[in-house]
Structure 1
Amino acid sequence: MAFTAKDVQALREMTGVGMMDCKKALTETDGDMNKAVEYLREKGLAASQKKAGRIAAEGMAYAAVVDGVGVVVEVNAETDFVAKNEKFVDFVKGVAATVAANKPADLEALMACKYAGTDLTVTEQQQEMVLVIGENIKVRRFAFYTEGVSVPYIHAGGKIGVLVNLEVTGDIDVTEIGKDVAMQIAALNPRFLDKSEVSQDVLDEEKKIMLVQMENDPKMAAKPEKVKEGIVAGKLGKFYKENCLLQQEFVKDGSVSVEQYIQNSAKALGGAVTLKAASRFEKGEGIEKKQENFAEEIAKQLGK
């Protein structure tokens, strides 16, 4: 399978590895991006398998609690100017209110719901916004929680929206706890909430990568298998701390994990708190944005 310079650039952005090594990895794996990432990890060049979707579309991620229902939504548009448009922001908030009121099963069901405060469906209201704003606008995804206590957090004016859902025991205000956890999620984007969510397939893949890395290291290759297994076990502990929210170091106080922070804070308030769920939406995540050459576009319009 052939690959292009853009593929090399994409692999570099995924892994942080130099251009030549990325090109070699794609050559060795016949242009297969996933295999190229694995190849670089086995060589000890790529630090993580995690592939952050590129921010490739504009619009807004928004989180709120509406009538007791925690909601997070993403609505996309063509330019970043739209996110500052009051009518667009109101439309996004209306989508969140519609989710809270109707609790739709999926996106198709949401688009068929009556948009909050109108007789139009969400689809029809979205079409109205396209005409008013003059850009393609699209409701992309949503999540909501009806049980427990939800705490919303919006980062950088809608670049990231996070919704944290907590089970609370005792008459305590958990807003600060929820916001701190949401900010951690926004900043570090953990793959899992807790190490119990990590499947055996994921662990097996991590072990495989670690063992291949050791085989490629002359100092490690000669060590007995038992020693290698012990090293792998230690590295898996690090994997949990890097990839699982509750096991991560709490950003505001590195002496405790996020789980310990939640427990300690809740105890200090006279209650107990358990993290039940969380959703993190990053604006444009995973959407490939068309690269425009504005100079060429203007030249075309001028007939040059």
Structure 2
Amino acid sequence: MTITAQQVKALREKTGVGMMDCKTALNETGGDMEAAVDWLRKKGLSKAAKKADRIAAEGLIGAVDNGTSAALVEVNSETDFVARNDTFQALVTKIAKEALGTAGDVDALKAKPFPGTGRTVGEEVTESVATIGENLSLRRTAELSVDEGAVATYIHNAVAPNLGKLGVLVALKSAGDAAKLTELGRKIAMHVAAVNPLALNVDALPAEAVERERAVYADQARASGKPEQIIEKMVEGRMRKFYEEVVLLKQSFVVNPDLTIEQAIKDAESDVGAPITMTGFVRFALGEGIEREESDFAAEVAAAAGV
């Protein structure tokens, strides 16, 4: 039978094992996914494969920048204990450095050579499963770049340099003073970390989110019994308030609530010495979107004690 690239990719994601080994395993087992996992375990990759089904929702966010480009990575582990391990922290730091130039493509990052090992980044993560003793996963990466200006990074409550559980990138395009742009970008990144906006501007908001809010406000206004032309004005007023709450450029700046982010950027232009355009931001919170297993700690202790 013919083994498809999708099957190979699925087995790789399930086990963390290299592409060629996954393809061989599928060929040897006639495309049976579970049998292929067992085949990999029998061939010496058992430590990685056995741990592949265990949920990895802890870990670290890593950040790196070179002035006009910056990247974030999320590398997951099973426990917070491992996230405090020097070996794991060194792994995430090195992976973050390799993320520059991958344009946020996690598969491209996994395929890059890992320095000094002869392995790819993805293979090094798999190799580290056996060394560290937990399931590990390079979950995602993101990168922002500007032709001129600065991309600032911020790690909230860093556990080590450029490592923590929440990371932000902010890209500012400008011909002005790079150091001052970086300082401004870092302050805006701190705002993003605290407030978690949905989008940079109104046009970037998901259309379904806008329509959902508009429909809710319209129903609320109609319940008041007002004429339709009044209802429309009420809805528009509430939508403006909604934009102020979720759109970054329209939000009140946590550093100076008297200013919106948009106005703070405009006011900074005289100090920087040139016009400034914010072109994007990225916010990674560790484990967001991962379904975690709920456990009854008291029951686990009782079971361990034979109660």
The residue aligned with 2:295 is: 292
CA distance in 2, matches of 1:167, 1:67: 11
Q: Percent identity between the aligned chains? A: 38
SS in 2 for 1:81: helix
The residue aligned with 2:152 is: 151
Q: Give 1:255 deviation, angstroms.
A: 1.3
CA distance in 2, matches of 1:146, 1:188: 23
Of 190, 197, 202, the match for 2:197: 190
Of 273, 279, 283, the match for 2:286: 283
The residue aligned with 1:266 is: 269
Per-residue CA deviation, residues 170-196 of structure 1 (Å, 9 max, x unaligned), is 234212100111011111111110112
The residue aligned with 2:69 is: 69
User: 1:8-23 alignment to 2 at 5 Å?
Assistant: none
User: 1:83-162 alignment to 2 at 5 Å?
Assistant: 83-100=83-100, 103=102, 106-148=105-147, 149-157=150-158, 158-162=164-168
Q: Give 1:78 deviation, angstroms.
A: 0.9
The residue aligned with 1:7 is: none
CA contact (8 A) 2:102 2:108 kept: no
Q: Give 1:128 deviation, angstroms.
A: 2.3
Change (3 A) 1:168 1:117: farther
Per-residue CA deviation, residues 108-135 of structure 1 (Å, 9 max, x unaligned), is 2322221134311112211222122211
CA distance in 2, matches of 1:290, 1:276: 38
CA contact (8 A) 2:104 2:142 kept: no
The residue aligned with 2:236 is: 233
Gaps of 5+ in 2: 1-55, 159-163
The residue aligned with 1:178 is: 185
CA contact (8 A) 2:72 2:99 kept: no
**Residue identity opposite 1:80 in structure 2:** D
Of 188, 203, 219, the match for 1:212: 219
CA distance in 1, matches of 2:199, 2:68: 26
Aligned Cα root-mean-square deviation (Å): 2.1
Change (3 A) 1:211 1:143: same
Q: Give 1:299 deviation, angstroms.
A: 5.0
**Residue identity opposite 2:128 in structure 1:** M
CA contact (8 A) 2:188 2:261 kept: yes
CA distance in 1, matches of 2:71, 2:206: 28
CA contact (8 A) 1:250 1:261 kept: yes
**Residue identity opposite 2:57 in structure 1:** A
CA contact (8 A) 2:103 2:143 kept: no
CA contact (8 A) 2:103 2:142 kept: no
Q: Give 1:72 deviation, angstroms.
A: 0.6
Per-residue CA deviation, residues 155-183 of structure 1 (Å, 9 max, x unaligned), is 12212110111101223421210011101
**Residue identity opposite 1:288 in structure 2:** E
CA contact (8 A) 1:104 1:110 kept: no
Per-residue CA deviation, residues 225-250 of structure 1 (Å, 9 max, x unaligned), is 11111111111111110010001111
Gaps of 5+ in 1: 1-55
**What's the TM-score, normalizing by structure 1?**
0.74
Q: Give 1:288 deviation, angstroms.
A: 1.2
CA distance in 2, matches of 1:295, 1:105: 41
Per-residue CA deviation, residues 44-84 of structure 1 (Å, 9 max, x unaligned), is xxxxxxxxxxxx92111122214853111111111112222
CA contact (8 A) 1:172 1:271 kept: no
The residue aligned with 1:255 is: 258
Per-residue CA deviation, residues 238-292 of structure 1 (Å, 9 max, x unaligned), is 1110010001111111111101101111322322221111111000001111123
CA distance in 1, matches of 2:66, 2:238: 42
**What's the TM-score, normalizing by structure 2?**
0.73
**Residue identity opposite 2:184 in structure 1:** I
